[in-house]
Structure 1
Amino acid sequence: MRIEGQTALITGANRGIGAALGRALLDRGAAKVYAAVRRPETVTDPRLTPLLMDVTDPGTIAAAAEVAQDVTLLINNAGQGSGATRLLDGDLDVARRTMETNYFGTWSVSRAFAPILAAGGGGALVNVLSVASWWAMETAPGYSASKAAQWSLTNALRQGLRKQGTLVVGVHCGFVDTDLSASVDAPKIGADEVAEHTMRALENDADEVLVDGFSRRTRAALTGPIAGLHDIGF
């Protein structure tokens, strides 16, 4: 995909990875980038076009799709963690909300914008996933499950949107230096690095991005014994 001249929509583009993706797209000549967020006033980059959207609210998704009929590149980035729900204790409702945001939110937004992408010639759809799609965490099983479900959804979208010519890209990375991982004591990569790898994938029509060594080692371990997934270092 040639990024120059494209019109993109990024969910959760007011900070972290979403903001970095917006900057990277504009730096490469994107014509317009919608920042689809629950609170449009939090979008501080004047080059972005704020747009109200809560990915768990079908009404705001439909309204945003009515406004953004020119979108040719959709990036599902909005996400929620569920660190408050440990494996054997904690509030399961927190995990349910995480699934609602990360899995059903991505599904709902993709459904709403798939016809718009088709009308524009196919375009591309990017899902910002995680190494947690494959690497389960005892301390946050709800988050890992939501990302595993989101990965499965990405694969289904790749099949379902192929006939309309839409490139579907899944982006996997380990811990990123954002608010979501602020309490994690582990090596982290920068959000700009995630954005750069994503831009390269789009420009090369690649369908999967493995940003860092952690995600690459974890992906490779899927072909080995299941116990090996728990022995991978950051």
Structure 2
Amino acid sequence: MDIEGSVVIVTGGNRGIGEAFVRAFVAAGAKRVYVGARDPGSAAHLVAEAPDHVVAVQLDVSKPDQIEAAAAQCKDVSIVVNNAGAFLNKRLMAAEDMSTAREEMEVNYFGLLGMCRAFAPALKANGGGAIVNVLSAGGLVAVPAMGGYSPSKFAARAASTCIRAELAPQGTHVSALIVGSVDTRMAAHVVGQKERPEDIAKVGLRAIKRKIDEIDTDRMAVETRADLARDPKGLERAMAKMLFADQVTTGR
């Protein structure tokens, strides 16, 4: 699929990986990039950088009415990037209640599913297009220290496979990006090597162009998949030990 001339919507596009995606699409010649953000004003800097190409849209993916409103406003979309995510850093059992786990599932799974459902008709009308789901190495292996985030990414990964099969007849391709540790606000508590958001976006655009179903975007994701294949029980024990570590680190 060609990026040049495409029309894109990026959820959570005002910062981090989403922000990098917006800039990458503009640089690759996208006709228009809609930046989905809870506060459209937070994307003002991106609009200012490319006022002829970037449009800020109010979009909280945990609110179905806002998803529907965005789909009605952005009918020319040919690429959807589901990047918005929630990590609330609460344990499944130790948290005072299940509200944080519900919120992580609402954003990371139901928000992604809602976006795919709402924009599928536009993608079909515009030639099929593509969906890119920004997932996590925490969706390959269960990470107890990540609480509800890891289970929500498992769900989103499974959904990506199901949605890919359902939308294939209309010519829409679905790519799943398995992301490790990236230098964003969400990973501020993590110590050690972190990837640049720009490099994740670069891999994402390559996945669109080549119609790649699932791709590991960085070293941590690649090593996690390799460790899972080599010694799944050993990796499970290593993840469990993180619950009692003084700090979360990307070191092996």
Name the TM-score class by shorter chain: over 0.9
Q: Which residue of 2 aligns with 1:4?
A: 4
SS at match of 1:121: coil
Judge conservation of contact 2:26–2:33 (CA < 8 Å) in 1: yes
Structure 1: distance between partners of 2:59 and 2:179: 25
Aligned partner letter, 2:16: G
Unaligned runs of 5+ in 2: 240-250
Structure 2: distance between partners of 1:133 and 1:42: 29
Where in structure 2 are the equivalents of 1:35-114 lying within 5 Å? 35-43=35-43, 44-46=45-47, 47=50, 48-83=54-89, 85-91=90-96, 92-114=98-120
Judge conservation of contact 2:92–2:101 (CA < 8 Å) in 1: no
Judge conservation of contact 2:109–2:152 (CA < 8 Å) in 1: yes
Query: Normalising to structure 2: TM-score of the pair?
Result: 0.88
**Structure 1 residue ranges, 4+ long, deviating more than 6 angstroms after superposition:** none
Structure 1: distance between partners of 2:134 and 2:76: 22
Unaligned runs of 5+ in 1: none
Match of 1:210 among 203, 206, 216: 216
Q: CA deviation at 1:107?
A: 0.5
Q: Which residue of 1 aligns with 2:144?
A: 138
Judge conservation of contact 2:141–2:228 (CA < 8 Å) in 1: no
Q: Which residue of 2 aligns with 1:22?
A: 22
Identity of aligned residues (%): 39
Q: CA deviation at 1:90?
A: 1.4
Q: CA deviation at 1:134?
A: 1.4
Query: Normalising to structure 1: TM-score of the pair?
Result: 0.95
SS at match of 1:55: coil
Distance 1:87 1:54, change over 3 A: closer
Match of 1:128 among 121, 131, 134: 134
Aligned partner letter, 2:29: G
Aligned partner letter, 1:190: R
The size of the alignment, in residue pairs, is 233
SS at match of 1:50: strand
Q: Which residue of 2 aligns with 1:182?
A: 188
Aligned partner letter, 1:186: G
Q: Which moved more, 1:165-174 or 1:196-205?
A: 196-205
Where in structure 2 are the equivalents of 1:151-190 lying within 5 Å? 151-190=157-196
Judge conservation of contact 2:131–2:175 (CA < 8 Å) in 1: yes
Q: CA deviation at 1:222?
A: 4.1
Give the number of the structure whose residues are more often helix, by fraction: 2
